[in-house]
A and B are shown apart, each in its own frame.
Chain A
Amino acid sequence: MSDVDRSIAEAPLPTAGTLRRRKGLFYQATRFVAFNFRMMKMVTRAHH
Chain B
Amino acid sequence: MARVVILGAGISGHTAALHLQRHLKKGAEIIVVSPNSNWNWIPSNIWVGVGKMTKDQVTFPLAPIYKRKHIGFRQAKAVAIHPEGSPDNPQGFVDIDYTDPTRSGQEEQLTYDYLIVATGPKLNFAATPGLGPDGNSWSVCTAGHAEQSAAALETIIEALKAGERKTLVIGVGHGTCTCEGAAFEYTFNVEHELRERGVRELADVVYLSNEYDLGDLGVGGMTFAQNGFETSSKMWTESLFRERGVRAILRAHVEKVDPGVIHYEELDGSKHTLDFDFAMLLPPFRGVDMKAYANNGDDITDDLFAPNGFLRVDADYAVKPFEEWTPEDWPKTYQCPRYANVFGVGIAFAPPHAISEPRKSPNGTIISPAPPRTGMPSGVMGRTVALSIAERIRHGDQAPLRTASMAAMGAACIASAGTGLRKGSAAAITMYPIIPDRKRFPGSGRDLTQTSGEIGLSGHWTKLLLHYLFIYKAKARFGWFMIPE
Do these two chains really belong together in a complex?
yes
What is the bound-complex CA distance between A35 and B470, given in angstroms? 18
How far in angstroms is the closest Cβ of chain A from B291? Answer: 34
Residues 444-473 of B contacting A (Cβ, < 8 Å): 450, 452, 454-459, 461-462, 465
Residues of A near B428 (CB, < 8 A) are 35
Cβ contacts B227-258/A at 8 Å (1 or 0 each): 00000001100110111000111100000000
B366 interface hit (Cβ, 8 Å): no
Q: Is the CB of A38 within 8 A of B430?
A: yes
Which of B103-111, B135-143, B162-170, B404-412 lines the interface with chain A?
B404-412
Q: Is the CB of A44 within 8 A of B243?
A: no
Q: Is the CB of A43 within 8 A of B456?
A: no
Q: Is the CB of A4 within 8 A of B250?
A: yes
Q: Is the CB of A43 within 8 A of B239?
A: no
Which secondary structure dominates where chain B touches chain A?
Answer: mixed
What is the bound-complex CA distance between A43 and B235, given in angstroms? 27
Q: Is the CB of B459 within 8 A of A35?
A: yes
Q: Is the CB of B457 within 8 A of A12?
A: no
Cβ contacts A7-20/B at 8 Å (1 or 0 each): 11111111000000
Q: Is the CB of A7 within 8 A of B410?
A: no
Q: Is the CB of B461 within 8 A of A28?
A: yes
Instruction: Please count how many residues in chain A sit with their CB below 8 Å of the partner chain's CB atoms.
Output: 31
What is the bound-complex CA distance between A42 and B409, given in angstroms? 8
Taking A12-B235, A12-B239 as contacts, is the C-beta distance between A46 and B376 under 8 angstroms?
A: yes
* A9 closest partner in B (C-beta): B242
Instruction: Please count how many residues in chain B sit with their CB below 8 Å of the partner chain's CB atoms.
Output: 40
What is the bound-complex CA distance between A32 and B458, given in angstroms? 5
* B454 closest partner in A (C-beta): A31
Contact for B457 among A13, A23, A39, A43, CB less than 8 A: A23
Q: Is the CB of B412 within 8 A of A43?
A: yes
Contact for B235 among A4, A11, A46, CB less than 8 A: A11
What is the bound-complex CA distance between A14 and B425, given in angstroms? 14
Which secondary structure dominates where chain A touches chain B?
Answer: helix
Taking A22-B457, A35-B459 as contacts, is the C-beta distance between A11 and B242 under 8 angstroms?
A: yes
Contact for B376 among A7, A24, A43, CB less than 8 A: A43
What is the bound-complex CA distance between A31 and B256, given in angstroms? 43
What is the bound-complex CA distance between A45 and B376, given in angstroms? 12
What is the bound-complex CA distance between A4 and B458, given in angstroms? 29
Q: Is the CB of A8 within 8 A of B410?
A: no
Q: Is the CB of B238 within 8 A of A7?
A: yes
Q: Is the CB of A43 within 8 A of B242?
A: no
What is the bound-complex CA distance between A7 and B452, given in angstroms? 22
How far in angstroms is the closest Cβ of chain B from A27? Answer: 8
B93 interface hit (Cβ, 8 Å): no
Q: Is the CB of A23 within 8 A of B456?
A: yes
Residues of A near B362 (CB, < 8 A) are none
Q: Is the CB of B410 within 8 A of A35?
A: no
Residues of A near B452 (CB, < 8 A) are 38
B432 interface hit (Cβ, 8 Å): yes
How far in angstroms is the closest Cβ of chain A from B235? Answer: 6
Q: Is the CB of B485 within 8 A of A11?
A: no
Q: Is the CB of B484 within 8 A of A43?
A: yes
Residues of B near A28 (CB, < 8 A) are 456-458, 461
What is the bound-complex CA distance between A14 and B428, given in angstroms? 17
Taking A39-B430, A42-B430, A46-B404 as contacts, is the C-beta distance between A13 and B462 under 8 angstroms?
A: no
Taking A32-B462, A46-B376 as contacts, is the C-beta distance between A39 and B456 under 8 angstroms?
A: no
Contact for B484 among A4, A11, A44, CB less than 8 A: A44
Q: Is the CB of B484 within 8 A of A35?
A: no
B58 interface hit (Cβ, 8 Å): no
Other contacts beyond A8-B238, A32-B462: 7, CB < 8 A: A9-B242, A11-B235, A22-B455, A25-B422, A31-B458, A35-B459, A45-B409
Pull 21 A–B residue pairs with CB atoms less than 8 Å apart, ordered by A: A4-B249, A7-B214, A11-B242, A13-B242, A22-B455, A23-B422, A28-B457, A28-B458, A29-B458, A31-B456, A31-B458, A32-B458, A32-B462, A35-B454, A35-B458, A36-B462, A40-B484, A42-B432, A43-B412, A43-B484, A47-B383
Name B's A-contacting residues (CB within 8 A).
214, 234-235, 238-239, 241-243, 247-250, 376-377, 380, 383, 404, 409-412, 422-423, 425, 428, 430, 432, 450, 452, 454-459, 461-462, 465, 484-485
Nearest 3 pairs of A and B residues by beta carbon: A11-B238, A32-B458, A22-B456
Name A's B-contacting residues (CB within 8 A).
2, 4-5, 7-14, 21-25, 28-29, 31-32, 35-36, 38-40, 42-47
